[in-house]
Amino acid sequence: MQASLEQILETKQVWQGSQEGYMDAQQSYSSGYQQLDLELPNAGWPKGALTEILTDQQGIGELRLLLPLLADQTRQGRWVAFIGAPYIPYAPSLAAYGVDLSRLLLVHPRADRDCLWATEQALRMGTCSTVISWPGQLEDRWLRRLQLAAEEGDTVGVLMRPAKYSTQPSPAAVRLNVSKNQHEDLSVHIIKRRHAWPRDAFPLSHEQLVDESAFSLAATGGL
Amino acid sequence: MSLHFPWLPLEVYSRTLDGAEDIPLAIVCRQKNQERIFQANALAQQQGVQLQQKLSAAVTICPNLRYVHQQLDQEQAALERLAYWACQYSSQVAIRSPYSLLIEVAGSFKLFGGQQELLRNMRSELDGLGHVAQMALAPVAAAAWVLARSHQGFICVADRGQLSARLQEIPLSCFDVNAQTLERLRAMGVHCLRELLALPREGLVRRYGQDLYDQVLKVLGQLPDVVDSIRLPERFVSSVQLLEPITHSEAILFVARRLLQELEYYLRARSMGTQCLQWCLQDEHGQQSFFELRASSPQRHCRYWLDLLSHHLEQLQLQHSVDVVQLKVLHCQAFAEQSQHLFSERAQSYHMDDLLDRLQARLGEEAVRTVCVRADHRPEHAWAYCQPGENTGLRTQALQRPLWLLAQPQALRYHQQQLFLRGPLQLMRGPERIESGWWQKGPVYRDYYVASNPRFECFWVFHDQRSQNWFLHGVFA
């Protein structure tokens, strides 16, 4: 019995769920944080798919999580869009973090419907490499539509949503619940990620930023 | 080549109606104080309406007949638009009223892939515009004109040798002769060109004037015929008068499609594109409303503008019912066709401009922008909105600054003697004094602090020295 099981495993007729680091042709962009890269599938924010960042708190560093990605993308000449942001992005801060403001697009829709439409257009057309959106209330079918739009445009789509939607099923490739329980580090709880089991909360320090020169290496697909 | 549009009055009328194929239509003209049917479409003729019938009789026979008086200015405008359409095929296009165009196509065959291909293109585009044309190709312009008027469908005369043979049997009604002369010739038994040529020349000239004889010579190619080509106007203005007022903004799309198609032909003829379309919607009382559609780069294609227009119409509220839709294009710019990638993975590749245009068409121009840095130490003036793609390139030092700024500083509440924002606030870092100079407007005298609450949220607050109040200005996201 055992011999035949080994034979089956050897001839790779069974896929094992415990195999992490499943590599495929899909690329991703490095998040800039070493520990986060280790936990994310393909070592980075997934391209052509949605990422949800769920949080109940404001001002804990939820946007700083994405800053290395924004800085890297805009420096390489790719566009980044903010759709329906709750406040005004403070230009001197962004510039100080290394974001090239000539590749930043801010969209201020008046209504929720317009916000969803604008997010879908930006994701689908693929001219922005990264789209960050604050969609408000999202029905299941809209989540599906946004996911399809991200696939079509091969865009990194990030949805920032309140934490109460953690239990809502979602087709996003990665779902993070971000919170802060003490002064220094951010606590990242990966609720869902492709090709792996969810990960319990782990601390992420802003000092864990990867060296600047390593950014452009990591962006060339799944290290 | 000559294109003859015998049904032009009806086509001009049906351009304004939706579903014109299912309605009996007629054009009415005034003859000797009586209104008679001038033209009727197939459906009306099936139901018994005949040409030259009195209007009252026609309406009795066909009760749901829709008719309108002959609109000569609309017909002339339609003929001009057709001339602009024809300009994409040739640089020499002339209008010969009524209802005919003369186009010099000899030089265009090679570019458009041969005679058959050219004719096929022309026919299909005319179909799209809603016109039926009789076409004739001949080496002599006047001969082509006469041939187009006499034959339905298509006729081609390859060279001059065959020309006089083909022209012999053409009835004289196809020539430019007035009714009286025609009647007199008919009384003499002269019906076609062959019989006319058999008459002696001096008698003909003496009785009917030199003009008739000159015309015959021009048709045969024995007298030079000077044809003036039209010149394309600098501006494009076209409008459609609707017979039934529109109340829904989506219905404008049907009318707009025709206008945008005409615009595309005009732009193609001029080899240019445009960045701004001005639309005017008018109701029956003369009330007008305007809107513009803009593109970041010159565009020519009808479907691009139609796409932008549909996005704009989705959020447009009509203030009044629409009777006339007018499109104006005042400025044209050089247009470069975008080349497609040879090995592109995606079916369509977009540019950033396309996304910006689409977002601006639906959300408005002020909803799409970016921020840039300004040299000012006051936080609310250290940044400004600007157009996407612009950047001042300034960088400040990496001071402790938040990522989010509030548009207006928000007053903080007190709760049990402590500052309160989603929890009692504790000041962590500060103070940092920011003061403005006496020469600046909008004086600022503030002490800024970084504050956090028991939920570990970080905010940027300040204590205003003048009013002694506390405000929230930023969030450290």
Average confidence (pLDDT) over A88-98: 87
**pLDDT classification of A26: cutoffs 50, 70, 90:** low
pLDDT band with cut points at 50, 70 and 90 for residue A120: very high
> Cβ of B410: how many Cβ atoms within 10 Å?
13
Separation CA B171–CA B190 (nearest Å): 9
Pairing verdict, β A156-161 and A49-54? parallel
Give the chain B residue nearest A78 (alpha carbons): B352
A88:B369 CB<8 A = no
Residue B138: predicted pLDDT: 84
Rounded to a whole number of angstroms, the distance from the CA of B436 to the nearest CA of chain A is: 18
Q: What is d(CA B456, CA B448) in angstroms, rounded to the nearest whole number?
A: 18
Nearest to B383 among A92, A114, A180 (CB): A92
Q: Which residue of A has its CA nearest to B377?
A: A92
Which chain A residue's Cα is nearest to B371? A91
Q: Residue A91 is nearest to which of B354, B358, B371, comparing CB atoms?
A: B371
pTM of the model: 0.68
Question: From the CB of residue B287, how many other CB atoms can be counted at a distance below 10 Å?
Answer: 13
How is B23-79 classified by DSSP, letter by letter? S-EEEEEEETTEEEEEEE-HHHHHTT--TT-BHHHHHHH-TT-EEEE--HHHHHHHH
Chain A hits for B352, CB-CB cut-off 8 Å, are 79, 127-128
Contacts of A105 in chain B (CB under 8 A): 356, 368, 370, 388
Nearest residue on chain B to A178, alpha-carbon basis: B477
Comparing CA positions, the residue from A4, A25, A23 lying closest to residue A14 is: A4
Query: How close B30 comes to chain A (CA, Å)?
Result: 55
> Which residue ranges in chain B fall short of pLDDT 50?
342-347
Q: Hey, are the CB atoms on B371 and A118 less than 8 Å from each other?
A: no
Mutation target vs A (from B363, B374, B453; most A CBs, 10 A cutoff): B363
Cα–chain-centroid distance for residue A111? Answer: 25
Residue in B115, B101, B329, B116 with CA at minimum distance from that of residue B236: B329
Q: Do B477 and A59 touch (CB under 8 A)?
A: yes
* pLDDT for res B158: 77
Q: A with B: how many residue pairs have Cβ under 8 Å apart?
A: 153
| Whether residue A24 has pLDDT greater than 60 | no
Closest to A100 in 3D by CA, of A91, A109, A108, A110: A91
- Chain A nearest CA to B95, separation (Å): 45
Across the interface, whether the CB atoms of A92 and B382 are under 8 A apart is answered: yes
Contacts of A100 in chain B (CB under 8 A): 391
**How many CB atoms lie under 10 A from the CB of residue A99?**
23
For residue B414, the cross-strand partners are: B419
Give the closest of B358, B388, B397 to A105, CB-based: B388
Binary contact (B476, A59; C-beta < 8 A):
yes
Q: Which of B427, B468, B434 lies closest to B449 in space, CA to CA?
A: B427
Question: B464 exposed, middle or buried (CB, 10 Å; 0-12, 13-18, 19+)?
Answer: middle
Kindly compute the dihedral angle of the four CA atoms of residues B261, B265, B270, B276, in this order, to the nearest 10 degrees.
0
* Cβ contact A90–B379 (<8 Å): yes
Q: Residues with Cβ < 8 Å from B9, sequence gap 6 or more? A: B27, B38, B39, B70, B71, B75
Q: Which residues make Cβ contacts (< 8 Å) with residue B334, sequence separation at least 6?
A: B272, B273, B298
Interface check A88 vs B, CB under 8 A? yes
pLDDT of residue A217: 32
Neighbours of B247 (CB within 10 A): 10
Q: Tokens representing B81?
A: 């638009």
Minimal-distance CA residue of chain A relative to B368? A107
Indicate yes or no: CB of A93 within 8 angstroms of CB of B401.
yes
Helix (H), strand (E) at residue B39: strand B34-40
Phi, psi of B280 (to 5 degrees): -135, 125
Beta carbons of B403 and A90 less than 8 Å apart: yes
Q: Identify which of A92, A117, A125 has the shortest CB distance to residue B373.
A: A92
Residue A119 C-alpha, separation from nearest chain B C-alpha, in angstroms: 10
Separation CA A23–CA A46 (nearest Å): 12
| Predicted pLDDT of residue A214 | 35
CB B271 within 8 A of CB B337: no
Q: Which residue has the higher pLDDT, A22 or B122?
A: B122
Which residues from chain A sit within 8 angstroms of residue B408, using beta carbons? none
Residues of B in contact with A121 (CB under 8 A): 355, 358-359
DSSP character at residue B112: T
Count of CB atoms situated within 10 Å of the CB of A196? 17
pLDDT of residue B377: 80
Burial category of A188 from C-beta neighbours within 10 Å (exposed 0-12, middle 13-18, buried 19 and up): buried
Could B367 and A86 be called an inter-chain contact, meaning their C-beta atoms sit closer than 8 Å?
Answer: no
The CA-CA-CA angle for residues B296, B297, B301, to 5°, reads 115
Substitution target in B372, B373, B403 with the highest count of A β-carbons within 10 Å is: B403
A-chain CB neighbours of B351 within 8 Å are 127
Whether the ipTM is more than 0.85: the answer is: no
The two three-digit tokens of residue B301, written as one number? 């294609």
Classify residue B125 by its DSSP letter: H
> Is the Cβ–Cβ distance between A55 and B455 less than 8 Å?
no
Do residues B164 and B146 make contact, with C-beta atoms less than 8 angstroms apart? no
CB contact under 8 A, A57 and B398: no
Cα–Cα distance between B175 and B178 in angstroms, integer?
A: 9
Which backbone phi and psi does B78 adopt, to 5 degrees?
-65, -40
- How crowded is residue B296: how many other Cβ atoms within 10 Å of its Cβ? 17
Q: Chain B within 8 Å of A118 (Cβ-Cβ)? A: yes
Cβ of A110 and B401 within 8 Å? no
For chain B, give the number of residues.
477
What is the biggest distance separating any 2 CA atoms in chain A, rounded to whole angstroms? 67
Res. A210: pLDDT tops 70: no
Q: What is the dihedral of CA B120, B122, B125, B127, to 10 degrees?
A: -80
